Amino acid sequence: MASQKSSSATLPPAPQTVQAPTAKEPKRKRGIARVAKLLDAGATVFAEQGYKAATMTEIAARAGAPIGSLYQFFPNKDVLADALVARYAEHVEAALDRIRAQVAEIDGIQLADRLLDVLVAHAAERSLALSLLDARWEQPGVRPGILRESLRRRIAEILCLWRPALADDQAQAMSVVLFQAMKSLVQLHEEKRYPGKAEAIAHWRGWVQRYLTEI
C-alpha cells in the first residue's frame, strides 16, 4: 500500500515508536526467496488447519526452512498472519485500481462483471484472510473492518468516476450493495456443487448487471 523501495511489498516497514513487532524485510536474494516460501507455506498451513491449530514448526518445515529462519522474518505467529492478510489486501486493491484506470471505457455490464470477478479471482486468498482475521480478536495489524472499509471506499470511488452525475451518498449506498453482492457471488461459487448452481450464479450476475445498467 504505502510505497516502498522495491520489495515484495508484502512486508511493511516498522517505524513505530513502541516497536510493535513487524515482519523483517529480507536483504539478500536468498532471503527474498525464503520469505516467499515461508509466506506460501504459511498460507497453505493456515488454510488447512486454521490459525490456532497451525504450528509454526510445521509452517517452517513445509517451507523447507529451519524454525529460526521463520522467526527471523516473522517474529511471531501474528505477524505472519498479518503479512498474509496484507498480501491479500494488496492483491484486491490492485485489481480494483486496475478497474478504476479503465472506468471510462466500460459500460454497466462490463463494470458489473469486472467487479464481480475481483473477489472470485481471489476467493481462496480471501477466505484465508478472513479466517485469519477473525481468529485473532484484539490483535494489532489490519483489522477486518479497516480492510472492508478500504475496499468499499474504492468501489465507491469507481462508481463516482464511472458516473460523475451520481450523488455521493447514492454512491455510498450502492457501493455497500455491490460489495455485498461481490462477496455473495464468491460464496455461491464456493459452495461445493448443487443442483442449480450454474443458474444461481447466472441469476446473480444478471441481477448485478441490471443494478448497474439501470443507473
Partner DNA sequence: AATGAATGAGCATTCATTCAT
Partner DNA sequence: TATGAATGAATGCTCATTCAT
Residue 78 contact among DNA, a second copy, none, beta carbon within 5 to 8 Å by kind: DNA
Q: In this structure, what C-alpha cell is assigned to residue 161?
A: 468516476
Please, which residue, 13 or 207, has the CB nearer to a second copy? Answer: 207
- DSSP-derived letter for residue 167 is -
CB atoms within 10 A of CB 93: 16
Q: Which of 72, 150, 172, 184 binds DNA (CB under 7 A)?
A: 72
Ordered alpha helix ranges (H), the chain: 29-49, 56-62, 67-73, 77-101, 108-121, 123-134, 144-162, 168-190, 197-213
Determine the size of the site formed for DNA (CB under 7 A).
23
Burial state string for 100-129 with b = 16 or more CB within 10 A and e = fewer than 16: eeebeeeebeebbebbbebbbebeebbebb
- DSSP-derived letter for residue 103 is G
**Distances from the Cα of 136 to the Cα of 44, 87, 198, angstroms:** 18, 17, 35
Residues that bind a second copy (CB under 8 A): 48-53, 131, 134-135, 137, 145, 148-149, 152, 169, 172-177, 180-181, 183-184, 187-188, 191-192, 194-197, 199-200, 203-204, 207
Q: Which of 4, 16, 57, 213 binds DNA (CB under 7 A)?
A: 57
Q: How far apart are CA 46 and CA 40, in angstroms?
A: 10
Q: Which of 11, 43, 54, 208 binds DNA (CB under 7 A)?
A: 54
Minimal distance in Å, beta carbon 121 to DNA? 30
Length of the chain: 215
28 is a contact residue toward DNA (CB under 7 A): yes
Minimal distance in Å, beta carbon 145 to a second copy? 5
Q: Which span sits near DNA by CB under 7 A: 76-84, 119-127, 145-153, 205-213?
A: 76-84
Minimal distance in Å, beta carbon 153 to a second copy? 10
- DSSP-derived letter for residue 63 is T
Please, which residue, 33 or 191, has the CB nearer to a second copy? Answer: 191
Q: Which of 7, 8, 9, 31 binds DNA (CB under 7 A)?
A: 31
Please, which residue, 76 or 180, has the CB nearer to a second copy? Answer: 180
CB atoms within 10 A of CB 59: 25
- The binding site for DNA (CB under 7 A) comprises 26-28, 30-31, 34, 53-57, 65-69, 71-73, 75-78
